[in-house]
Amino acid sequence: LGRICSQYYCTVETMSTYNSLLKPTLSQIELLRVFSLSSEFKYLTVREEEKLELQKLMERVPIPIKETIEEPSAKVNVLLQSYISQLKLDGLALMADMVYVTQSAGRLMRAIYEIVLHRSWAQLADRCLNMCKMIDKR
């Protein structure tokens, strides 16, 4: 884990989160949830003026989100799915946050993929690799 952490420039908290939450039977919904709980996004907050737009985006994203719109992890999840689905954003603050999320997304998802690959979880590795491709190719 340490090698993967240093190779993908992940924080120790992120690696700890991945280590505790990754299970061989994770669905696509849960995989995105684990990604959105990365400590790299701990400073992203849900602003009052973004709630309405985030709610609209939450209804349009392809993979349902379990968290409420108040949680920062839900915001990260919505922004990543919006980026992959090429949904349009209105707010400038939301666009800035999306740029921040998407800059880290490929690197963090690749780190999750490496962890899963080292654990020999084939189905989850396939899901992670597909997610990595979606992020890279949009």
**Nearest-angstrom CA–CA distance, 15 and 19:** 6
Q: For the chain, how are helix, strand and coil distributed in percent, rounded to 5?
A: 70, 0, 30
Which pTM value belongs to this model?
0.93
40-68 exposure pattern, b = at least 16 Cβ within 10 A, e = fewer: bbeebebeeebeeebeebbeebeeebebe
* Contact (Cβ atoms closer than 8 angstroms) between residue 50 and residue 101: no
**Nearest-angstrom CA–CA distance, 105 and 102:** 5
pLDDT tens digits for the chain (138 residues)?
Answer: 899 999 999 999 999 999 999 999 999 999 999 999 999 999 999 999 999 999 999 999 999 998 999 999 999 999 999 999 999 998 888 999 999 999 999 999 999 999 999 999 999 999 999 999 999 998
